[in-house]
Amino acid sequence: MALALSVLEKLQHQPNSTLSTICFIIITILCVLINKFTRRNNKFNKLPPSPPKLPLIGNLHQLGTLPHQSLKALSDKYGPLLLLQLGQTQALVVSSADIVEEIVKTHDVAFSNRANTKAAKVFFYQCKDIGFAPYGEDWRKKRKLFVLELLSTNRVKLFQPIKENEVSMMINSVHEACAKESSVNLSKLIITTTSNIFYRCIFGLRFETSDDGRKSIAEAVRKMLIQFPKLGVGDLLPSLDWVDVLTGFMSRLKVTFAELDEFLEGVIEEHKRKKRDENNKDFVDILLQLQERDMLDFELNGDTMKALLLDLLVAGGDTVSTTIEWAFAELANNPEIMKKVQEEVRRIVGGKSMIEENDLNEMKYMKCVIKETLRLHPPGPLLIPRETANSVEIKGYHIPKKVTVYINSYAIHRDPKLWDNAEEFIPERFEDSQQVDYKGIDFQFIPFGIGRRACPGMSFGAASLEYMMANLLYWFDWKVIPNNGAMIDMSELNGLTVIKKQPLYLEPMPYSIC
C-alpha cells in the first residue's frame, strides 16, 4: 500500500489525471494480492515439517503395516510434530509429551473433534455414540451418562459377581489343561473370558453361547474389529469416493453392520419384554430404564442406544484382553519379574481360596507391571484420531483447520528423553513414581487418551484387568514352551488394537496354596 501511495504521488504530477487514477487502482489491487499471497506463504512456511511425498498419494506409502512404528521412525528423523499428506487429506502427527501438554492445557477444545471414517459412520449409526461423535453439548451429555450411570465405581462393584464367575471358569479350564499336561493358548483363553465378562455386563449374555442362534454375533464382532480400522479410498481421496462402491468396500461394511444391528435390535426388544431384578440389571436394562423414566437430557432413541452399546462392546473387552496378553508375554520373557510379581500376589492373598478387592489394592508391584505393559504396548498406540475445529498455533507452527490429528502414544512412551532404557520392560520404574497414572494427566504416559476425549471407561476396564491378572498369577506358574532357547515372539499385528502377531502358548503348573 505504501508503494501505491508513492506511485500515486508521482502520477499526480502527470497531465492525465484519469490515467493516474486508473493506475493507482490497478497498483492498489496488485499490492493487496501480493500482501495476501505473502501472508499465505508465511503461513505455509510456518507449517510443521513434512517428509518428501509422492504425487497423488502423498505420504501414504510411508505408513507401512504398523503405522505407529513407521510414524515414530519419521518423527525421530523429522521432528515430534509432522504434517503428512495422506491422499487429499492432511494429517498432523504428535510424538512428544510437551506438545501433548500444550494441546491439552491451551487448545483442548480445538483438538476435541473426531476425524470420522466411513467405517465409523456405518458402524456407529452416523456417529451417534460418544467415541466418534463430534464435540459439543450432545456429546457432553452422553459422556456424562457413561461416567455417572454406566461406568461409575458403584457400577463396577455391582458387576463383580460376573467377573468372579467368569474368571473362576477360566481358572478351571487351565486346571483341566494341567491335568492333561498340555499347553494353553493363553491368548484365546483371555479373549474368551474378557468377552464373556463384557457381554454379560452389557447384554446379560455370554459371548460363547447358545442354542438360540446368538453365537453368530461373535463372528460379526470379529469382522467388525478387522474392518473398522481400514480406510476406504474415499477417506483419503474424497474425489474418488465412488471407488469404494465399485470395490465392494461399502457393501462389506454394510453387511457386517446389518448383522450387528439385528443382534442389538433383538437384545433390546427381549430386554423390554423381560423386566429384571434391580440387582441383576445389565447396561441394556439401565439404558431402557433411563429412557422409560425420561431421566436424560438428550434423546435416547433406538439408534443412539445401539451406538452407545457398541461403544461399550468395542472399547472394553478388546483393550483388556490385549493388555493381559502383552503382560504375560513380557513376564514369560522376564522370569525374574514373573517370580517377583507372583510372590507379591501370593503373599497378599495368603492362601485364601478367592482373591478379594482389598487384596488388589495392595498389589503395588502388579500395578507397576500393568503400567509398564501399557507403556510398551498401548492397546491403541495412535489413540482415536482427532480433527482440528479451527486453526491454531503450536510451538510456533501454524496448524490448519480440519486436519486429522494422530497422537502417537507409542512414540511418547518410548521416548529416551522421558524414560531410562525406554525399550526395556522394567516395572520398577513405576515404583518410585506411583503417582504416574494412566488417566491422561501425566502427558508422558497416555495409553487411554488425553483431555476431554480420554476414555471414560478406564476404571471399569482396570477392575477386570487387575482381577484376571491376579488370578492367573496366583493359581499357576507359567513356563515358556521349549523352542531351542528362543524367547516369546513379540511381533505385532495391527487392528482396532495392536495385538501379538502369534498367539501366546504357555505351559501352566498348578500352585499349591497348602
Rounded Cα distance between 451 and 405, Å, is 14
Nearest alpha-carbon partner for 228 in 62, 380, 86: 380
Averaged pLDDT, 338-363: 95
Would you state the pLDDT for residue 42?
Answer: 43
DSSP 8-state assignment for residue 14: S
Residue 64 cell numbers, joined: 507401512
Nearest alpha-carbon partner for 194 in 77, 44, 75, 312: 312
Would you state the pLDDT for residue 156?
Answer: 82
Residue 81 cell numbers, joined: 510434530
Averaged pLDDT, 338-361: 94
- pLDDT grade for 6, boundaries at 50, 70 and 90: very low
Asked if 320 and 464 count as a contact pair (C-beta separation under 8 A), the reply is yes
**Residue 38: is its pLDDT beyond 80?**
no
The CATH architecture that domain 60-510 belongs to is: Orthogonal Bundle (1.10)
Output b/e per residue, 233-265; b: 16+ Cβ within 10 A: bbbbbeeeeeebeeeebbebbeebbebbbebbe
Residue 117 cell numbers, joined: 471414517
Would you state the pLDDT for residue 442?
Answer: 86
pLDDT tens-digit profile of 389-442?
999 999 999 999 999 999 999 999 999 999 999 999 999 999 976 667 777 678
- pLDDT grade for 1, boundaries at 50, 70 and 90: very low
Percent above pLDDT 90 for the chain: 69
Averaged pLDDT, 1-25: 47
CA distances, 170 to each of 86, 203, 325, 468 (Å): 44, 20, 14, 9
The structural domains of the chain, with segments of one domain joined by +, span: 2-45, 60-510
- pLDDT grade for 18, boundaries at 50, 70 and 90: low
Element (H, E) at 22: helix 17-45
pTM of the model: 0.88
CA 98 and chain centroid, separation: 20
- The DSSP secondary structure of 237-251, one letter per residue, reads -GGGTTHHHHTTHHH
Averaged pLDDT, 207-211: 59
pLDDT tens-digit profile of 174-199?
999 999 989 999 999 999 999 999 99
Alpha helices, H only, 124-248: 137-145, 153-158, 160-179, 186-203, 216-227, 233-236, 243-246
DSSP 8-state assignment for residue 231: P
Return the axis-axis angle of helices 17-45 and 2-11, rounded to nearest 10°: 170
**Residue 237: is its pLDDT beyond 50?**
yes
Beta bridge partners of 479: 507
Would you state the pLDDT for residue 157?
Answer: 86
* Burial grade of 197 (CB within 10 A; 0-12, 13-18, 19 or more): buried
Rounded Cα distance between 138 and 363, Å, is 39
Q: Does 178 show up as a binding residue in the annotation?
A: no
**Residue 211: is its pLDDT beyond 70?**
no
pLDDT tens-digit profile of 47-92?
999 999 999 999 999 999 999 999 999 999 999 999 999 999 999 9
